[in-house]
Every structure is written in C-alpha cells, then in structure tokens.
Amino acid sequence: MIDQQTIFEIHRLKNRRLSNRKVAGMLGINKDTVAKYFTNPQATCGPRKKRVSKLDDYKERIDEIIKECSDISATVILRELQSAGFTGEVSLIRRYLKKVRTKIKTRQPYVRFESEPGRQMQVDWGHFGSLCYGDVNRKLYALAVIESYSRKLYVEFTHSQKQDTLHQCLFNAFCYFGGTPSELVVDNMTTAVIERSAKVIRFNDAFLKFLLPYKISPWACNVRAPFEKGKIERSIQYLRRNFFPLRSFKNLDDTQGQVLQWLDDIANRRVHQTTGQTPQQRASNLQLRPLPEGVTDIYKEVLTVQVYKDFCVRFDSNAYTVPPWCIGKQLTLKADQKTIQLFFRSRLIATHLRCWEKKKRIEIPNHVEKAMKKQRRFLESKQTALFRALGDEFREYLDGLVQSNQPIKKSIARLLSLKDQYGSGSLSWAILKALRYGAFGADYIENILYQEMTPETDHPPVQMKNEALNRIQLSEPSLEEYDALILKRK
C-alpha cells in the first residue's frame, strides 16, 4: 500500500490533467497504481497467494547454518544444500540471506529532540537542476533554513554555494524570521567546517567571523548522520515534492519570488503533522534576539578588478563598463545575487544589474557617450589633424584604426615617427597595402616598411631644453606654392 500523502498527490496531479504515466514518473510508482488509487482512493490490497520456492524445504537448514556462522557466504551454503539435493540457483539463497539478515539487524533508536522557542535553527543546501539563460545553463541551489521549534521555513535560491553567498543567504533568513537564534546546526560543508577528527571540529574562520556579531554558536552534525538535522532534511524533501514540480522559472528573481509566495501561502500556513499547528502560529512564541545594526552590506562578494582599454572590468565571464577615466586603474567590485557595484577607493562609480549569461558586455549609456566624446576630442588634436592632412588613404586608415579599437594616440605617434624615418611616399604606399588586406595597426605598417623599404637618411632634429618645443610637428611645405608666389611677383 501507499501512504495518504501519495494518494493526495495522485489526485492533485491528475486534476491537472496529467497522464497516469506522467504522474507515476513524478511520484516513483507504477502507472497501474496511479489508475487504481485515482479510481478508488480507499482501495486496499487483498491477501496474496504464497509462491512456492525451491528453497522452502531448506530454509530451516539455512537458519541453522546462519546461527553457527552469521557472515557465511551464499556460495558455501549452496555447496552444503546441493549435497542434500537442492537444485536451485545461488541467487535464491542470496535473496533469502538478505531478507533474514535485515530482520536480525539491530536498528538504531533515535530520540526526537525538541528545542525551546527561538533557540535553534537548522541549515542545509539542496541542488535543484539548473536555470537557462540564453545558451548558458547555471546550476540552481537552494539554502533552506528552519526554526526548530515552530518549523517555520525560509528558502533562498542561488547560483553559487560560495562563502559570501552563504553569509548573505543566512542574513536574509535572519531578516525573514525577525531575529537570530542561539544555535545554528550545519552539516560538514566546507564553508562551515574545514576539518573534523572524531569529536574535534575545526570551523571555517570566515564562518565564525560571520556568526560573531550575532553571538550564535555553531553546531556541526556527525559525518553520515542526517538524522541529527532531520527537520531541515525533511523540509528539503518537502520543497522538492510540493514546490518544485509543475513550475517554470524565467530567472533567479522569478524563482525567488515564487518560493517566497509559496512559503507565505502554503509552507508556513499548513498544519504540521508533528506539532498539530501551523508554523506561523507557533512562530508567534519565538524569542529571537534582535539583529545587530550595520551588517547589511558586508556579505557581498568582494574582489579587486582591472579596468581594460575598452573601459570594462571582467567578472563572472561578462564585461561591465565604467567611466573611461578609470582605464588602467584598479577598482573594488562588490557583487550579490542582483547587482554589481564598482568603487574607486571608497567612491561608488558604477552600479549594474548582474547578468547571468556569459560573454556579454553590459553597458551604461553614459559611459559609452563619455568614451565617444573623449575619442572625438583626440581626433580633433593637432597630431591627428596633421595625419589626416597627408591624404585620403591616411584618413581612411585612421577611420579603420578607430573601428578596430586600436589606441589612436599611440598609433598616430608611431605612424608619424615612421613618416619621418621612411618618408611620406613610402608610408603612403605601406598604408595602401595595409588597406587592401584590412590590417589596421602601427605594427603592420612598421613591418611592411621594414621588409620592403629603405629608411631615408635620418638627421635627428636638435633637441631643445623645452620639451614642448621638441613636440612641435610641422607639415611639409609645398614647392608649388613657392613657384606660384615667384610667378606672381614677376
């Protein structure tokens, strides 16, 4: 027979017009069982006819052998029975031994533990498949926290089980309950327990630092002893069976919104089988300690990032823009499940919504506008104007440098230096060749000139003490203008 909860789930799922096969797959039972209990919820199993086995006449002898040697193997018993006329296979003996040994095995008794109101909370992670963002699948985890006296439950879905994520989820749970307990029960996850030897436990230093302001004492379960935190183990099973089936989720925010609604409407308002009351009713008797002040922002993931020439920082396989003046600087990044904040020293300079896709560029329009404005200012500089005045191919090549995100200022300076070294004609020829192949960059031009041109005699200019005078660039005079001036005077 199956229990009443399974019968209830059969009727609930069938009322959603699911097939017997689909319901059976979701509940792990046979489709004929689904049809039977949907038609008649009060159905009971009649007595079954006992099957005749070749082993029936030899069971007493096997029991005697087991009393003499409890750990004897099935093959040894087979040889003993074959001498007495047994013709069956060893698999029959193995099945019987498994059944007998299960009966004589001593089962460990468990004492139910009930804590005082507000004294204890239990914590555990659960894995719930993944969420799809475009072409990217992100693993989906749920941190479940239950207050042991009231059985009031809190759940938070995340894409990570990192240390900072655990701390932020626990803080959100304390806010949800309206206070903190005296004791927090965890399993042996590495974000809580680093090392364990028998009764000697070494807790994670970051975890202890997190608990210190709340004055919470951690308590770690023994290895392979889930019964020591049975309340949270059953809650995760309840979450899998009652919340997760037949739902679709768009993203992490949608998933969290649905589970909070489920907690308020169903999980914490149902009558609990053990207490006979709803968790919400029993929670009114809790004696939780108030939250300390000033701890709302310290649990974000914090790291130092570099700003690259495309005025972006790289985080979690995505690029986030910052003001262009930050290029080359080190910034502090703070991230949670929703936002990315970027700081220069202690000043907030950019805030982005967190993107869970990968290989994406997340831009703030103001940053792009400032970068384009800065680029336009440089294009109007004296060096750029001199380069553009050299001819149409130079202007076309400059546009190609801009489109290929080359460093304009550095590239123009190198190209003008090559003009002084090889002459305008050679540089023009090299630029035309580079345009044919779509090769944009001072390195390409320098390589072409090095391979196919000979530098002109180089007479370096006289170096002045005033560096501003050394940087003056003059355009080449046109001899035709001089000729026209002489003819005009005649």
Of 278 and 108, more confident: 278
422 and 444 in a single domain? The answer is yes
Each residue of 245-295: pLDDT tens digit? 888 999 999 999 999 999 999 999 999 988 899 999 999 888 899 998 877
The CATH number of the domain holding residue 174 is: 3.30.420.10
Assess whether pLDDT exceeds 80 at residue 471: no
pLDDT top residue among 20 and 199:
20
pLDDT at 457 over 70: no
Q: What pLDDT shows up at residue 297? A: 55
pLDDT for the residue 380: 62
pLDDT of 222? 83
What average pLDDT does the segment 459-473 reach?
A: 76
Decide if 469 is inside a domain: no
pLDDT band at 481 (very low <50, low <70, confident <90, very high): confident
Residue 160, domain member (yes or no): yes
Host domain of residue 63: 56-104
Please give the average per-residue pLDDT across 389-397, as a whole number.
89
Same-domain status, 222 and 249: yes
pTM: 0.62
178 residue type, one letter: G
Are 162 and 271 members of one domain? yes
**Which of the four pLDDT bands, split at 50, 70 and 90, describes residue 110?**
low
Confidence bin at 216 (pLDDT 50/70/90): very high
Provide the pLDDT for residue 430.
92
Say whether both 133 and 265 belong to one domain. Answer: yes
Average pLDDT of the residues in 223-232: 83
Q: Are residues 393 and 314 in the same domain?
A: no
Domain finish residue from 248, 283, 318: 283
60 is a domain residue: yes
In a domain, 483, yes or no: no
pLDDT of 261: 96
- Burial of 24-57, coded b for 16+ CB within 10 Å and e otherwise, reads bebbebeeebbebbbeeeeeeeeeeeeeeeebee
Quick one: DSSP state of residue 264? I
pLDDT of residue 296: 64
144 lies in some domain = yes
Q: Are 259 and 157 in contact (CB under 8 A)?
A: yes
pLDDT above 80 for 82: yes
In contact, 216 and 184? CB cutoff 8 Å: yes
Query: According to the model, what pLDDT value does residue 266 have?
Result: 92
Pairwise pLDDT comparison (376 vs 57), residue with the higher score: 57
Q: Residue 337: pLDDT above 70?
A: yes
Residue 476 lies in a domain: no
Tell me: do 35 and 124 sit in the same domain: no
The SS3 of residue 299 is coil
**Are 423 and 397 in a shared domain?**
yes
**Amino acid making up residue 330:** Q
Which residue, among 217, 182, 216, has the nearest Cα to 201 in the 3D structure?
217
Q: Is residue 88 part of a domain?
A: yes
Buried/exposed 425-459: b ≥16 CB within 10 Å, e otherwise: ebbbbbbeebeeeebbbbebbbebbeeebeeeeee
Residue 267, pLDDT score: 93
Q: Are residues 268 and 195 in the same domain?
A: yes
Domain-embedded: residue 336: yes
d(CA 480, CA 486): 10
Quick one: pLDDT at residue 17? 83
What is the rounded distance in angstroms from the CA atom of residue 29 to the CA atom of residue 23? 8
H or E element in which residue 147 lies: strand 136-147
Residues 314 and 412 placed together within one structural domain of the fold? no
**Average pLDDT over the chain, rounded to an integer:** 87
pLDDT in tens, 370-388: 888 877 776 667 778 888 8
Q: Do residues 145 and 267 share a domain?
A: yes
- Residues 156 and 276 reside in one and the same domain: yes
Percentage of residues in the chain with pLDDT exceeding 70?
A: 92
Relative to beta strand 301-306, strand 193-197 is: unpaired
Question: What count of Cα atoms within 13 Å lies in the side-chain half-sphere of residue 314?
Answer: 7
Higher pLDDT, 328 or 469: 328
Pick the last residue of a domain from 368, 403, 418: 368
Of the candidates 39, 13, 36, the residue with the CA atom closest to the CA atom of residue 25: 13
pLDDT, position 66: 83
Number of domains in the chain: 5
Identify the residue with better confidence: 480 or 178.
178
- Six-digit token string for 8: 């209830």
For range 296-301, the mean pLDDT: 75
Mean pLDDT of the 165-186 span: 94
- My answer on whether 360 and 277 are in the same domain is no
